[in-house]
Amino acid sequence: MPIAYLSLGSNLGDRGRNLREAIQRLETPHSRVVATSKIVESLPVGETVEPVPPYLNCAVELDTVLPPLDLLDWTQEIERAGGRTPTFRWGPRAIDIDILLYGNQVVETGRLTIPHARLRERAFALTTLADIAPELSLPDGTPIRDLLDDPSISSQVVTTWHDGSASAQ
């Protein structure tokens, strides 16, 4: 089965429970969760029309038979089942699931970009991805670990979350 790497985030309600429930929903006959990263907390990314609370994030390694666009459809179903409702760009959400990588594929459609379009800019995504796949590289050969050394990434505050308490990363 192809391996996909997903980023899960939540900043509404019981954020930890939202992540755990989404991970459980990922387990189906067509997909199996191979690994889950530690949970980290980070400030929202992007300018918003209203204040947005901090996120909890994790990464998941997923074996799946679903092709990328079917995986996107399925993760969007999980988001809806987890209480995600439309707000504004980069607005708060009970659960958010992004496809970061899908094997070594590069996908560019109107609906989906793999590798994720902003993966190289987000410390929370890179940190959690490196937690479960420290030797992983992007399809262009760039090691994930090298991206973490970039000053624009290393300057972003990401803390490890332990059921409500956090410690600096």
**96 included as an active-site residue:** yes
pLDDT digits (tens, 9 = 90+) for 74-116: 999 999 988 766 665 666 788 999 999 999 999 999 999 999 9
Residue whose C-alpha is closest to residue 22's, from 71, 73, 79, 90: 79
Catalytic residue among 93, 120, 146, 149: 93
pLDDT at residue 48, as a whole number = 66
Catalytic residue among 25, 63, 80, 84: 84
pLDDT at residue 167, as a whole number = 42
Tell me the β-bridge partners of 105: none
Catalytic residue among 15, 25, 98, 131: 98
pLDDT at residue 76, as a whole number = 94
Alpha-carbon gap, residue 17 to 67, rounded angstroms: 28
Which residues does the chain have with pLDDT short of 70?
46-48, 84-91, 163-169
What CATH number has the domain spanning 3-168?
A: 3.30.70.560
Consecutive H or E run containing 59: strand 55-64
pLDDT at residue 134, as a whole number = 95
pLDDT at residue 162, as a whole number = 77
pLDDT at residue 169, as a whole number = 45
- Give domain limits for the chain: 3-168
**17 included as an active-site residue:** no
**163 included as an active-site residue:** no
**98 included as an active-site residue:** yes
Catalytic residue among 32, 80, 89, 96: 96
Q: Measure Cα distances from 151 to 39, 100, 117, 156 in Å.
A: 22, 21, 19, 9
